[in-house]
């Protein structure tokens, strides 16, 4: 058998072939040859019902996590709200999952499917909690595991939160390949998959997204059981879009017709996630606009032909917070509620603290996740790392003074924790234009309907955006 060329261009040129082989899923039947593709058919191709996914997850310590009412934080939020306002704040404690985050839901489904298809191992490209989730599930289900991680800048300096996650992956038995920031992540992942013949346990496959649907479904069921009503609002930290997509789909399957789904990200405007210089000038590595905006407006630039994470189909609002506010909220959660949790879920919690003040007292607001914490995830090493990289750390007004990559502003007091509403209309218009440009053809009527569904609008909105 001839040896395949392993240079960058050769491997990237075989990407579709490699991905098809590594997922056991042919994406071609879902394509129309134009702008549109059949998203719902792709999701149904998993052939797993929500009950079946729940059974898969329950076998390995995933799911059925507690829904906790944050009574002290709710009372605190009401101090800053007008009379009669300040929604009850709840949090889904996803740190109770096997590896300590909601990513276990994705991993349980993906790894179980890999085992079902007869793969000997799994590969995942991730700098985050998903690596630990895949490693945990692979260990439980008897498969080999390789995690490819974007970890360092060109000087070999790693952000403490990412280094922490690598330690956890290794502790759970995975081989971890650590890379510098740049295009080598996708190339190396494809190359490893091709060399090993392992399953691509992608964050963005339909198996992974279907695994998150149980989270939204559980939120609905637990709210009805504990409170006697559906949640009025669910706030999801947003990066690659899987949390928003899967949670919203689960809420829909539970029959939640009026629940508002809000995406929340840390605003890192001005920092490039592909920049070696900027890589360590950020102090939070997940749940920020550096991933949230590009993946919302162009979801198909991932390690699968079509991403199943398509957040603009589901979010009703997109809000942002700052790094300092998230770190402050991390301390608040620990000090007021006795819950020591990591930064990702606290991005949504920081926004929820502000959003709750705009809702009446009888409203129910649910933060969709918590995550485990560890040595590199605590705010102390994060703040120390920021100072080492020349970041000005001080107290002030984050919404007015925050400059990502230059400073990190902790709120002077809780009244300075304020979400900002992002321009969702602009993101939707960008998504439509990028989809049409990528297709390289004039959209037909079916394409217009698809694009309307893609951004949760009507066809008139799509036509206006395209000037038709």
Question: Distance between CA 403 and CA 77 in Å, rounded?
Answer: 26
- What tens digit of pLDDT does each residue of 323-334 get? 999 999 999 999
User: Is residue 428 a part of any domain in this protein?
Assistant: no
pLDDT at 5: 87
Question: Distance between CA 33 and CA 27 in Å, rounded?
Answer: 12
Question: Distance between CA 73 and CA 76 in Å, rounded?
Answer: 5
Residues 345/367, Cβ–Cβ less than 8 Å: yes
Whether residues 413 and 301 fall in one domain: yes
Top pLDDT among 281 and 209 is at 209
pLDDT at 285: 80
User: Is residue 185 a part of any domain in this protein?
Assistant: yes
Which of 180, 206, 232 is the last residue before a domain boundary?
206
Name which of 413, 380, 383 is nearest 395 in CA terms: 413
Which of 158, 181, 206 is the last residue before a domain boundary?
206
**Cross-strand bridge partners of residue 147:** 124, 176
Query: Taking residues 46-68, what's their average pLDDT?
Result: 97
Whether residues 443 and 336 fall in one domain: no
For tokens 């502000």, name the residue.
354
Top pLDDT among 8 and 136 is at 136
Top pLDDT among 418 and 345 is at 418
Asked if pLDDT for residue 1 goes beyond 70, the answer is no
Residues 180/276, Cβ–Cβ less than 8 Å: yes
Half-sphere exposure in the Cβ direction for 439 (13 Å, CA): 20
The number of domains in the chain is 3
Q: What angle do CA 18, 174, 386 make, to 5 degrees?
A: 100
- What tens digit of pLDDT does each residue of 235-280 get? 999 999 999 999 999 999 999 999 999 999 999 999 888 888 888 9
Three-state SS across the chain? CCCCCCCHHHHHHCHHHHHHHHHCCCCHHHECCCCCECHHHHHHCCCCCHHHHHHHHHCCCCCCCCEEECHHHHHHHHHCCCCCECCEEEEECHHHCCCCCCHHHHHHHHHHHHHHHCCCEEEEECCCHHHHHHHHHHHHHCCEEEEEEEEECCCCCECHHHHHHHHHHHHCCCEEEEEECCCHHHHHHHHHHHHHCCEECCCCCHHHHHHHHHHHHHHHHHHHHHCCCCCCEEEEECCCCHHHHHHHHHHHHCCCCCCEEEEEEECCCCCCCCCCCCCCCCCCCCCEHHHHHHHHHCCCCCCCCCCCCCHHHCCCEEEEECHHHHHHHHHHHHHHHCCCCCHHHHHHHHHHHHHHHHCECCCEEEECCCCCCCCCCCHHHHHHHHHHCCCEEEEECHHHHCCCCCEEEEECCHHHCCCEECCHHHHHHHHHHHHHHHHCCCCCHHHHHHHHHHCCCCHHHHHHHHCC
pLDDT at 2: 52
pLDDT at 309: 98
For tokens 């190339």, name the residue.
187
Top pLDDT among 186 and 426 is at 426
Average pLDDT, the chain: 95
Asked if pLDDT for residue 350 goes beyond 50, the answer is yes
**Cross-strand bridge partners of residue 140:** none
Whether residues 81 and 132 fall in one domain: no
- What tens digit of pLDDT does each residue of 100-135 get? 999 999 999 999 999 999 999 999 999 889 999 999
Proportion of the chain above pLDDT 70, given as a percent: 100
The boundaries of the domain holding residue 439 are: 435-466
Longest dimension (CA), the chain: 75
For tokens 């017709």, name the residue.
257
Asked if pLDDT for residue 77 goes beyond 90, the answer is yes
User: Is residue 32 a part of any domain in this protein?
Assistant: yes
Whether residues 311 and 223 fall in one domain: yes
What lies within 8 Å, CB to CB, of 118 at 6+ separation is none
What lies within 8 Å, CB to CB, of 333 at 6+ separation is 70, 73, 339, 340, 341, 346, 349
Whether residues 20 and 84 fall in one domain: no
User: Is residue 429 a part of any domain in this protein?
Assistant: no
User: What's the Rg (C-alpha) of the chain?
Assistant: 21
Whether residues 361 and 400 fall in one domain: yes
pLDDT at 141: 96
Whether residues 246 and 372 fall in one domain: yes
pLDDT at 343: 86
Question: Distance between CA 60 and CA 109 in Å, rounded?
Answer: 10
- Centre a 10 Å sphere on the Cβ of residue 334 and count the other Cβ atoms it contains: 16
Which of 206, 231, 261 is the last residue before a domain boundary?
206
Whether residues 113 and 184 fall in one domain: yes
Instruction: Give the CATH number of the domain where residue 139 resides.
Output: 3.40.50.1100
Query: Residue 16 — pLDDT band, cuts 50, 70, 90?
Result: confident
User: Is residue 224 a part of any domain in this protein?
Assistant: yes
**Cross-strand bridge partners of residue 8:** none
Whether residues 135 and 226 fall in one domain: no
- Phi and psi at 147, nearest 5°, equal -110, 125
Beta sheet of 121-125, edge-to-edge order: 175-180, 144-152, 121-125, 199-200
Question: Distance between CA 183 and CA 196 in Å, rounded?
Answer: 21
Whether residues 288 and 164 fall in one domain: no
User: Is residue 3 a part of any domain in this protein?
Assistant: no
Whether residues 260 and 376 fall in one domain: yes
- What tens digit of pLDDT does each residue of 222-234 get? 999 999 999 999 9
Query: Taking residues 363-384, what's their average pLDDT?
Result: 94
Residues 107/375, Cβ–Cβ less than 8 Å: no
pTM beyond cutoff 0.85: yes
Asked if pLDDT for residue 284 goes beyond 90, the answer is no
Whether residues 373 and 414 fall in one domain: yes
**Cross-strand bridge partners of residue 233:** 260, 365
User: Is residue 375 a part of any domain in this protein?
Assistant: yes
Asked if pLDDT for residue 43 goes beyond 70, the answer is yes
């Amino acid at each position: 058998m001839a040896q395949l060329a392993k240079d960058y261009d050769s491997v990237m040129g075989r990407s579709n072939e490699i991905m098809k082989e590594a997922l056991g899923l042919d994406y071609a039947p879902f394509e129309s040859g134009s702008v549109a593709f059949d998203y719902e058919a792709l999701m149904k191709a998993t052939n797993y019902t929500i009950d079946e996914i729940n059974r898969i997850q329950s076998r390995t310590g995933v799911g059925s996590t507690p829904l906790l009412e944050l009574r002290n934080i709710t009372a605190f939020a009401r101090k800053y709200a007008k009379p009669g306002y300040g929604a009850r704040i709840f949090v889904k404690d996803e740190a109770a999952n096997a590896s300590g985050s909601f990513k276990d839901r994705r991993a349980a489904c993906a790894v179980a499917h890999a085992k079902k298809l007869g793969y000997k191992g799994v590969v995942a490209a991730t700098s985050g909690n998903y690596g630990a989730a895949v490693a945990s599930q692979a260990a439980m289900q008897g498969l080999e595991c390789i995690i490819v991680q974007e970890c360092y800048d060109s000087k070999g300096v790693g952000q403490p939160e990412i280094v922490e996650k690598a330690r956890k992956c290794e502790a759970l038995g995975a081989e971890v390949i650590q890379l510098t920031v740049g295009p080598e992540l996708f190339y190396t992942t494809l190359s490893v998959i091709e060399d090993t013949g392992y399953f691509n346990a992608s964050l963005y496959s339909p198996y992974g997204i279907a695994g998150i649907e149980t989270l939204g479904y559980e939120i609905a069921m637990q709210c009805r059981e504990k409170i006697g009503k559906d949640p009025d609002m669910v706030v999801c930290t947003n990066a690659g879009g899987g949390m928003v997509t899967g949670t919203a789909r689960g809420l829909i399957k539970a029959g939640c017709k009026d629940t508002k789904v809000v995406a929340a990200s840390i605003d890192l405007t001005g920092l490039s996630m592909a920049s070696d210089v900027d890589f360590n000038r950020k102090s939070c590595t997940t749940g920020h606009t550096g991933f949230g905006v590009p993946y919302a407006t162009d979801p198909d630039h991932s390690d699968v032909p079509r991403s199943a994470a398509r957040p603009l189909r589901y979010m009703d609002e997109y809000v942002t917070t700052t790094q300092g506010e998230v770190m402050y909220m991390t301390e608040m959660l620990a000090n007021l509620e006795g819950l020591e949790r990591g930064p990702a879920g606290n991005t949504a919690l920081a926004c929820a603290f502000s959003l709750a003040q705009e809702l009446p007292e009888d409203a129910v607001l649910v933060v969709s996740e918590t995550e485990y914490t560890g040595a590199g995830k605590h705010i102390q090493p994060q703040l120390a790392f920021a100072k080492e990289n020349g970041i000005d750390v001080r107290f002030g007004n984050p919404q007015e003074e925050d400059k990502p990559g230059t400073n990190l502003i902790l709120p002077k007091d809780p009244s300075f924790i304020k979400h900002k509403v992002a321009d969702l209309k602009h993101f939707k218009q960008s998504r439509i234009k990028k989809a049409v440009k990528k297709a390289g053809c004039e959209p037909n009527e079916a394409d217009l309907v698809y694009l309307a569904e893609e951004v949760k609008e009507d066809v008139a909105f799509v036509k206006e955006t395209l000037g038709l």
